[in-house]
A and B are shown apart, each in its own frame.
Chain A
Amino acid sequence: MDMQLELNVRRRGAMSGVLTLGSLDPAFEAAAHIAGEPVVLDLRGVEFVEPAGICGLAVLLEHLTGRSEEVSLSLSGWNVPAYLERMDFFKIFGGRVRTNADVASLEERERHDPGTLQELINFRTEDEIPGIIERISEILENRGYRLRERVAICSTLSEVCSNAAEHSASPCGAYAAVQAYHHIVSGSRRRGEEVLIAIADGGVGVRETLSRNTKYAEYTVTDNDALRYALKMGVSGTGEVGRGGGLTLVAQIATRSGGSLSLRSGSGRVTAYKNRKSSRIVPNFPGTFVRVSLPRTPAEKKEKDRE
């Protein structure tokens, strides 16, 4: 019999029906015990997928396809399959994963979605990154994003992708996706626009990377210790002067505009906000995951702030 993998999709509140990285926790746990048998991943309770969800799903499927002879996705409705199709999900996984959704009919539909800034993309090396940045920068420019916003989005993507390419040693490479929303999706719903950037890899994780530097031993006891320490200026696995500034500066860019940066790796989860950091022990994530929220401020308000 096929093994059924359940997800943890909330039924109530602001995050009801949303596929987040946390939704995938039970499936990641179950994936660790699979020994070849076919599995079905049940996404029928999902109504909405954010970049974090799609990147997490990609890493999960990489794990599952390596451990199971057949992986099937159970989808319902039209919105989620259509969104996955628009995000190039089936382009990447169509050949490796079975699904009950009629992908061919989705492909014929209009693909235009002004909110998609970067479809799900898989990359392995640093030299793929300038091309990714070139392309998203052009999209942002065409959609009227101001220079400051483009710089924030592009540098977040380039720094975090570089980290993944350089340190993760992830057998499946890393996945990234960027989506813009006409309302705030992180935390409590309020007015305003928000850009979400997610990058996930199936690599060694932050604690392992920092542990290579023996002088960090006391800061890498737990995954949360390592994640908090990784956000400090100048902390890097190599320990060379000048290294370890990218993530810190990216967190600064996000938090000073009222956004946030979350890191998950192993059993750790740390989120940086403007004046505080929160950490929690969470179910194991086999790799490193970064989610950045960048709220968009209307141009008029920015002008006022400057006065």
Chain B
Amino acid sequence: MKINRTSTTFVSLAGLGITLLIAFITMFIMILIMSDTPKDTMYYFLAGPFTNKYYFGNMLNAAIPLMLTGLGISFAFRASMFNLGGEGQVYIGGLAAASVCLALPDLTGIIGIPLSLAAAISAGAAVAGLSGYFKFKWRTDELISSFLISNALIFIVDNIITGVLQDPESSLLTSHKIAEQYWFLKIFPPSNLDISIVFIVLLAFLAYFYLFKTHQGYEMRICGLNSEFARYGGLDVRKYFLLPMVLSGGFHGLAGGVTVMGTQHMLFKGFSGGMGWNGIAVALIAKNNPIGVIPAALFFAYLEAGAKSAMINADITIEIASVVQAVVFYLITAQAIYSFVQRRRRTA
């Protein structure tokens, strides 16, 4: 039997379509039950993000960290490494970037911006790398260790933000504002969208090139597909316990840094909440393809923006988005859906 590429792409796209359809139906049912004005609520949910420049730009802006966390998870998943510590890695990346900005308020942007982004990347990479190192050294399960380390870190970063870094003038739990030369250029006023989106889309293509067109990327994928085979082929399998975790953490740390310097210009307690988990969903929708991460992140940003618009203008709460996300999570790996599509196609 001839299996061609377009047919497998069709099956995975159709499977994805069914998954998203079920997710939206779930949302409609919840809105019908819970909202007093279901028609308005649905309108704001579906169309809200497109009604003005501010909402639309902010939606695109919200996709930036999701692209980065999605890329980070794709790298880990391609190598069959489970990085569940994304939440903490984003958070500590934000802390590292903000610390550099706050410690060096007079540095010029040309040196300061790369320096603080490098700090964000290193912080995330070090934290995820620790789980990778435990696995490398003693085969400690990285799935649980990365989650536990991240959760411990979240509380510690909370403490630093509300303690050492807390702005005493502010009534919010936040640090001082970072100096203006660290702010990223806004490209779509009045929204928060900044120039970093261009670089991050480029980065996604670069990541694709690395994974699929370089020797190291190939080795990493082989280790992920079948580590026994890779070992037999003479690859240093243990190296690919460590490297993908470091890369994955680096992307997460960068997501934190970019959010602080591009959008918030200060460090809020809990600012990264959900970015790590959503990165996993984004990577799954994208089937761990770095370029696919771009539309998948936009879709997730749309869901959140829609829920936010419905919350502001109608009578439901924003957490309805996580219910929809959960449905996507549930079904995205369900093979039965894909084989259903395949069967239908064969009989058609």
The answer on A and B forming one complex is no
Interface residues of A (CB under 8 A from B): none
